[in-house]
Chain A
Amino acid sequence: MESEVVEAELVLPTHLSFKKVQMYEKYPKGQSRGRHWKHLKQILQAENLQNYPPDEPNYVNIESPPSMHPSMKICDITGLEAPYHDPRTNLRYANTEVFKQIRALPNEYVQRYLALRNAAVVLK
């Protein structure tokens, strides 16, 4: 290990005195480590929330409802207020200059702008 790396103590030491079980004992080398952790969706499914009364607060039912206000439409490129909508690319635009720019954009950029507001077409 290079001296400056050792001096800066960049790397976590492998043996720590205050641990009862060290990392190398718990996760031996060569075994796949990452795959056995449940993601949030699986954790929530495993909780069996339907067995408990629905008005008790739990992780799922404290989530906020969809917004009641009408959604704010802003131009995807400039950020100004956008009353108009391009049917071909599905982007919102504010005025004619921006519209010229939109029609000149390659498809990759169009999809990325749409992906910003989660409106891109995802082919699975």
Chain B
Amino acid sequence: MPFISQIQRQSDYAYFPSETPIVIDNGASYFRIGWAGENDPRVIFRNIVQRPRHKATGETVTIVGDHDPALLRYFDCTRSGPRSAFDNNVVYQFEIMEYILDFGFDRLGANGSQIDHPVLITECVCNPVHSRSKMSELLFETYGVPSVAFGVDAAFSYKYNQRHGICNEDGLAICPGFNTTHVIPFIAGEPVYKGCTRTNIGGYHVTDYLKQLLSLKYPHHMARFTWEKVEDLKMEHCYIAPTYASDTRLFQEIDPTFVPKSEAEASQQGSEVPKSRPMTQEDFKIVLGIERFRCPEVLFNPNLVGIGQAGVDEMAGVSIRRLPEKDEELEKRLTSSILMTGGSCLYPGMCERLEAGIRMIRPCGTPIKVVRALDPILDAWRGASAYAAAVQFPQQTFTRMDYFEKGEDWIRGYKFRYNL
């Protein structure tokens, strides 16, 4: 499994002077926290909280992140499912956010009476004022943080890759995430939010689609298909077909009498599902045939799950159309440096499909180059860390005094400059 949680408690909190910022990548799937200037976040865990009841003592406890299911047998988890602080990609449940921050700071090794370091935390694009102000309030009031800065994770990832020469100053960042997909144009190194688009489809929807399809296909295995297992299957076997029609033809040729639900289907990939009662070997194989590329297809065609918005390739066209100035040279520069970042861009075949899709909607002969970020999952944190280590970072933060004196309108106008 490519995503591994790191929750070892760090012991060197005291060695960092109070000017060193703490960098947090607050994503809907994973929460990453670490020190500015370093290459990797120290603590990584899933951004969910469970509040089960302990069976023996009866008290309700809080468990943050995903844990070994064997240990959870001491807890009564029937009434408490995993809960996330996010609604779409906006933080709205600040009690859960507080539990998560508690856990994150605690595992970073925090001690002392308050968190004495400036904090750089990521947020979604055009975050509503309510969410931003509640987050600042939480950090200032409860943790005593001296100063806070908010930035967009996709932008940090783009700047990091720009510094490493993967993409140019003018370009497009395509960020399929967990709940949403964004396309953000960058001009002269700064994101232009006027041209930004967001579709409410992401890795969560792909996994959910796969889970529903498998439960319908294998109804007697339904209880076994937990969300985490299906996510593992998705990461292992799913890919994106160059065109949907061509790959369905592949499946039709191999077995012309395609009959779903029966184990006699020609299998492309089989995977074992753990046994629970004595039955034949055949019963425990699940066959992932066409679902392998049907599910990620949802990113390009959200109509497949009933979401009536544009898919990833079309969004690039919409984004370029929305830019305030119409400049052919600029558009050529934008399409020749397209960066894919975010966890849901790791499917094999995504680059080629995206390139073909964008070629269809742009004028003939425009230069198109699609590249994947160096590390789509960690690059946002790395970009933020490199940014926070710069000398000019303190100018982009705002302090507690600013927040209380200037009020909500100023928070609404708070804009982060990515070029230092």
> Residues of A at under 8 Å CB distance from B?
1-2, 4-5, 8-13, 16-21, 23, 26-27, 33-34, 37-40, 43-44, 46-47, 55, 57-59, 62-69, 71-72, 74, 77-81, 97-98, 101, 109, 112-113, 115-119
- A-B contact list, 8 entries, CB within 8 Å: A5-B74, A10-B67, A12-B62, A12-B99, A18-B105, A62-B197, A65-B309, A97-B258
Distance between Cα atoms of A98 and B56 in the complex (Å): 52
Is the pair A23, B98 in contact by a Cβ cutoff of 8 Å? yes
Smallest CB–CB gap between B412 and chain A, Å?
Answer: 9
Q: Which residues of A contact B194 (CB under 8 A)?
A: 55, 57
Q: Tell whether A119 pairs with B142 under 8 Å between CB atoms, given A27-B95, A62-B198, A72-B244.
A: no
Is the pair A78, B290 in contact by a Cβ cutoff of 8 Å? yes
Distance between Cα atoms of A37 and B102 in the complex (Å): 19
Given contacts A18-B113, A67-B309, A74-B244, could you give 13 more A-B pairs where the C-beta distance is less than 8 Å? A12-B61, A12-B63, A17-B113, A18-B144, A39-B92, A43-B92, A44-B128, A46-B130, A62-B196, A63-B309, A64-B197, A79-B290, A116-B212
Distance between Cα atoms of A15 and B199 in the complex (Å): 40
Q: Which residues of B contact A40 (CB under 8 A)?
A: 87-88, 90, 92
Distance between Cα atoms of A4 and B75 in the complex (Å): 13
Q: Which of B33-41, B297-305, B344-352 contacts A (4 or more CB under 8 A)?
A: B297-305
Smallest CB–CB gap between A56 and chain B, Å?
Answer: 8
Is B356 close to A, CB under 8 A? Answer: no
Distance between Cα atoms of A41 and B277 in the complex (Å): 46
Q: Which of B158-166, B167-175, B310-318, B383-391 contacts A (4 or more CB under 8 A)?
A: B310-318
Is the pair A64, B130 in contact by a Cβ cutoff of 8 Å? no
Within 8 A of A (CB), among B22-68: 54, 56-57, 61-64, 67-68
Is the pair B212, A16 in contact by a Cβ cutoff of 8 Å? no
* B: number of interface residues (CB 8 Å): 82
Within 8 A of A (CB), among B101-151: 102-103, 105-106, 110-115, 124-131, 141-144
Interface flags for B175-202 (1: CB within 8 Å of A; 0: not) read: 0000000000000000001101111100
Q: Which residues of B contact A23 (CB under 8 A)?
A: 98-99, 102
Q: Which residues of B contact A17 (CB under 8 A)?
A: 110-113
Is the pair A117, B305 in contact by a Cβ cutoff of 8 Å? yes
CB closest residue in chain B, given A37: B93
Q: Which residues of B contact A46 (CB under 8 A)?
A: 130
A-B complex: 7 closest residue pairs judged by Cβ atoms: A118-B306, A57-B193, A79-B290, A40-B87, A71-B303, A12-B62, A64-B197
Distance between Cα atoms of A118 and B193 in the complex (Å): 31
A12, A17, A113 pick with most chain B CB within 10 angstroms: A12
Smallest CB–CB gap between B317 and chain A, Å?
Answer: 9
Smallest CB–CB gap between B90 and chain A, Å?
Answer: 6
Is the pair B305, A20 in contact by a Cβ cutoff of 8 Å? no
> Out of A12, A69, A119, which one reaches B314, CB within 8 Å?
A69
Distance between Cα atoms of A87 and B257 in the complex (Å): 24
Q: Which residues of A contact B303 (CB under 8 A)?
A: 67, 71-72, 117
Q: Which residues of B contact A11 (CB under 8 A)?
A: 61-63
